[in-house]
Structure 1
Amino acid sequence: MQSKKLLTLFDLSMIVISFVIGMGIFRTPVSVAANAQIPELFYLAWIIGGIFSYFGALIYAEIGSRFPVTGAYYKIFSTSYHPSFAFAINCIVIMTIAASIAGVTLIGSEYLANVVLPAEMRTDQNKLIIAITGILVLFGVNLLGLRTSSKVQNIITLIKIALVLTLICAVFTGGQVQSIPAVFKTASGTPPGWWDYAKTLGVCMIAINFSFTGYSQTINLGGEVKDAKKTLPKGVILGLILIITLYLLINYAYVKVIGFEQLKTAQSIASILAGKIFGPAGYTILSVIIFISVLGFVNVNLLSIPRSMFAMAEEKVIPGVFSRKNSKTDVMSVSLATFVALIIATLFFAETFDKILNYSIILECIGTASSAATLFFLRKKTADLDTKNIYTIKWFPLIPVLFISFTIFVGISIYLADPVTAISGLLILAGFMVIYFISKLFNKKPSTLNAD
């Protein structure tokens, strides 16, 4: 059954924004500031992260334009590499996104519970109920079909953008702290050299890279985009430009309103900005921002991940039942229900899955670098396409090479910062590849002997 072309440029841009802007920008600036030590490195790290994320947007824009199919994030791997690698990467993506959703919904429900429930009712059980209720409501929305779920996504994302812009306005409300001169110090106490600055930037990039990730999953929806070869690249690029702008502005606001030295140890940076604008009601406003941001992150992944599962089932690496669609709504009902069940199950084991999320950071770099590299394969396989009708990167192969090199640099930085966790992540990847080969071995049909 061919997918209906329902998504417009506006829909796709909103989807890109919700993939990226989740909880990260309300938390990661603290660790980036602490690692950067001086504001010059802090700003430089965010600018570099924005530039390379834009390079990534250009790469995935061309990938999506050349390969506009449902579940493309799986299919670009299976087309360009061995199916075992495609299986392993996408299984890890499914698990870690389920864990991410579980984690952020619990955080979001805690914020909401503190606002809407009396103190005696703010129990872990009630927070869990709020989290599950939010997920089930969005599950119901997605069961209605892509048109409904994308419209809900648009509304959530617009509200999120408006609220982030409101926080940025704290710069204009007065009460900015005076900056205290910061000094870059090395572990040995010797004057810093270029290698010290490079290592520091690498550590900063771990959190920044994680704050910018997610937009690559947009290509999963390529089969349902109107005039995908032109619309998909525009949506990815426009979405990333807005994200980069918002990130740079809100980080500037954090530094100006909170102070760089205070930012290094601040507990709730977004609530400080909200307090500057709304006074005592700031925490309530922040809680709304956090919960809406969580809903956007949950819904956009309910749109994307079932499409990866659909593509995997089409190629028979998971049971064919996951490729079934509802004849009326065109919804991948089995894949969607299974993913929701996985999220809810994960909510009960949040601490265990936090560890998996830590292991996945190195795998994020592997997945990003290897998926970006598929552009080299796709250019050869789709060389017959009329380049006037698709998006193509002008500075090829320079931009992909720079982006892949940057991602590898971040991966090396992760390994240097925590080698045990990085190696554990690689072992998880290898484990899923072994599972693929074992499943293929058991699924082989026994050969029949010819009786003459």
Structure 2
Amino acid sequence: MKKALKFWDLVALEIGMTIGAGIFVFMPIAYKSAGAGTIMAFIFAFLPMAFIMINIMLLGSTLPTTGGTFKYGAFLFSPKAAFLGLWAYLFGAFVGLFPLNALALASYMKGIWNGLSLVPVALIVLTFFYLVNLLGLKMASRVEITAVALLFIAIAVYTVPGMGNIDSKNLETVFSAGPGTIIYASALLTFTFAGSNAVIELGGEVESAKKNLPLSVIFSLTVVLICYLMMAVVSFGVGGDTLENGTLNDVASNYLSGFLFYVFAFGGPILAIATTINATFMWGTRSLLALCRLHVFPSKLGSINRRGTPWVLLTIIWLLSSIMLISVGESGLNLFASFASIGGIAVIIPTMFAVFRLKRDPRLKEKAPAIVNRKWFGILPVLGTVFSMMIMLILLYQVGVDFSISFFLLFIVWEVLGMIYFLFRLKYLDRARKNPFSRNDLSAFDD
């Protein structure tokens, strides 16, 4: 794969992937649980995700590779656990992430143009970004940088005048939300900081990966947290209970009008969610591509077009997400959000266990950043592993409580079917002497 991504490409990808779903989709959903306490929930969500992302950053800078989300867990921890994590991510993407963002974008567009039909518009959105990504990673990256630049203008239009219109009474309940609601809201919002995880999927396509990967993650996480807190304070301080049944556009209409309102309405939620969809198409195929190259999936599924795009996998993702969107319809926004978060954290868990190898394996220790040699380094993977597993359990429990136990069982059945397939595939690879997991080397990370 070509080294097409530089520092600002990475920053744009990470911020675009994160802010879209973070503020404009998940915050109104979290507000229904924690009210103004969602401001604190953002902070509590950031803390565990910071530890998780530090661990991912260490792996990414030690062994930059394409499809790292699967490779790190598979070759440094357990192939079975890594496959289950990726299989859960696929469930979250098809059943949650893509339909969620497309439907949310259509909802914001409907707020500007009354009479739009949500599901058809959402399908058009998915199809547009599918076609953009068919043209190649470089084209998709340029679209991402442009959209993120416009997004920051819209955020400034929302927050700067919004700060002057805050009613302090609306923020009096920030610390009064119950611990249970804060915990669930925090678990849900952890997904809003997971955009930086995308960079390890594209590590093999990054210029100067050992330097640019960690720097971009640190920079983007800091920027994202500041944006989240500023927008949350404005949203609750100005809007009060507006987000109970409304959107950030409804909050903005309290103090923005005319040209400035439309700058925010188009450049804010619409562009933010659009960048998330585009970024997810950019990196969402990379671990699947790695599975094809490792013969876990049929190699023909990993076919690359002349622009370097794994077009078969991209088409499968687009097709299955569209089918799910049509099947569930516009009433599934909250369900989509829950499963998107579950998939996003499940795929990280095996990666957290893989970090323990950095200090134990001499081959990795030699390549790893200097921080790995510190005496206190061992606490980082411990915290990352504990936090990721706790978040996963909270989200699964809440799906059964908020929706139906049948959705929880559906997830379990999906995982069981995935493991059955993987075990049979491993037996086939052993017979064919093509099992890549039987080798005790790091050749799988050579792109």
Superposition TM-score, scaled by structure 1 size: 0.81
Which of 329, 351, 359 in structure 2 is aligned with 1:371? 351
Which of 4, 7, 13 in structure 1 is aligned with 2:5? 7
- Which residue does the alignment assign to 1:142? 133
1:431 is aligned with what amino acid?
L
Task: For residue 31 of structure 1, report the CA deviation from its aligned partner.
Answer: 5.0
The answer to whether the aligner puts 1:335 opposite 2:313 as a matched pair is yes
The answer to whether the aligner puts 1:270 opposite 2:248 as a matched pair is yes
Task: For residue 268 of structure 1, report the CA deviation from its aligned partner.
Answer: 2.2
- Which residue does the alignment assign to 1:432? 418
Per-residue CA shift, 1:198-229, capped at 9, x if unaligned? x4442232222132233223201000000111
Using the alignment, how far apart are the partners of 1:433 and 1:210 within structure 2? 25
Per-residue CA shift, 1:38-91, capped at 9, x if unaligned? x5x544332222222222221111110112111111111221344333333223
2:303 is aligned with what amino acid?
R
Task: For residue 133 of structure 1, report the CA deviation from its aligned partner.
Answer: 3.3
Give 3-state SS (helix, strand or coil) of 1:397's partner. Answer: helix
Per-residue CA shift, 1:282-333, capped at 9, x if unaligned? 478425532212221111111112211210001111010133323x422223
- Which residue does the alignment assign to 1:189? none
Which of 47, 52, 57 in structure 2 is aligned with 1:56? 52
The 5 Å alignment of 1:153-172 reads 153-172=144-163
Which of 51, 59, 74 in structure 2 is aligned with 1:78? 74
Task: For residue 10 of structure 1, report the CA deviation from its aligned partner.
Answer: 0.7
Per-residue CA shift, 1:373-415, capped at 9, x if unaligned? 2111244346455458677596512233223222333334335
* Contact kept? 1:54, 1:237, Cα under 8 Å: no
Using the alignment, how far apart are the partners of 1:179 and 1:344 within structure 2? 39
Task: For residue 157 of structure 1, report the CA deviation from its aligned partner.
Answer: 1.7
- Which residue does the alignment assign to 1:450? none
Count of residue correspondences: 423
Using the alignment, how far apart are the partners of 1:136 and 1:241 within structure 2? 32
Using the alignment, how far apart are the partners of 2:223 and 2:216 within structure 1? 11
1:443–1:292: structure 2 CA closer, same or farther, 3 Å change rule?
same
Give the RMSD, CA atoms, in angstroms. 3.3
* Contact kept? 2:30, 2:38, Cα under 8 Å: yes
Give 3-state SS (helix, strand or coil) of 2:72's partner. Answer: helix
1:101 is aligned with what amino acid?
F
Which of 41, 61, 65 in structure 2 is aligned with 1:65? 61
- Which residue does the alignment assign to 1:235? 216
Give 3-state SS (helix, strand or coil) of 1:92's partner. Answer: helix
1:271–1:393: structure 2 CA closer, same or farther, 3 Å change rule?
farther
- Which residue does the alignment assign to 1:324? 303
Using the alignment, how far apart are the partners of 2:314 and 2:409 within structure 1? 32
Task: For residue 155 of structure 1, report the CA deviation from its aligned partner.
Answer: 0.9
Using the alignment, how far apart are the partners of 2:431 and 2:171 within structure 1? 71
Using the alignment, how far apart are the partners of 1:388 and 1:437 within structure 2? 32
The 5 Å alignment of 1:388-427 reads 392=372, 395-419=376-400, 420=405, 422=408, 424-427=410-413
Give 3-state SS (helix, strand or coil) of 1:339's partner. Answer: helix
1:368 is aligned with what amino acid?
I
Per-residue CA shift, 1:78-122, capped at 9, x if unaligned? 213443333332233234223421232133224325535x74xx3
Using the alignment, how far apart are the partners of 1:169 and 1:230 within structure 2? 34
The 5 Å alignment of 1:218-367 reads 218-259=199-240, 262=241, 266-279=244-257, 282=261, 285-286=264-265, 288-326=267-305, 328-351=306-329, 358-359=338-339, 361-362=341-342, 364-367=344-347
1:349 is aligned with what amino acid?
S
1:136–1:424: structure 2 CA closer, same or farther, 3 Å change rule?
closer
1:228 is aligned with what amino acid?
A
Give 3-state SS (helix, strand or coil) of 1:348's partner. Answer: helix
Using the alignment, how far apart are the partners of 1:113 and 1:44 within structure 2? 30
Query: Between Structure 1 and Structure 2, whose CA radius of gyration is higher?
Result: 1
Per-residue CA shift, 1:8-32, capped at 9, x if unaligned? 1111011111222223423444454
* Contact kept? 2:16, 2:276, Cα under 8 Å: yes
Task: For residue 356 of structure 1, report the CA deviation from its aligned partner.
Answer: 7.1
Q: State which drifts further: 288-297 or 221-230.
A: 288-297
Identity %: 19
* Contact kept? 1:59, 1:393, Cα under 8 Å: no
Task: For residue 249 of structure 1, report the CA deviation from its aligned partner.
Answer: 1.2
2:46 is aligned with what amino acid?
G
Q: State which drifts further: 333-342 or 222-231.
A: 333-342
1:114–1:179: structure 2 CA closer, same or farther, 3 Å change rule?
closer
Give 3-state SS (helix, strand or coil) of 1:309's partner. Answer: helix
* Contact kept? 2:46, 2:190, Cα under 8 Å: no
Superposition TM-score, scaled by structure 2 size: 0.82
- Which residue does the alignment assign to 2:106? 109
Per-residue CA shift, 1:252-285, capped at 9, x if unaligned? 21232123xx36x632241233213422674784
* Contact kept? 1:362, 1:422, Cα under 8 Å: no
1:169 is aligned with what amino acid?
V
Q: State which drifts further: 170-179 or 313-322.
A: 170-179
1:160–1:275: structure 2 CA closer, same or farther, 3 Å change rule?
same
1:88 is aligned with what amino acid?
L
Gaps of 5+ in 2: 434-447
Using the alignment, how far apart are the partners of 1:349 and 1:72 within structure 2? 32
Q: Identify the structure with the greater helix proportion.
A: 2
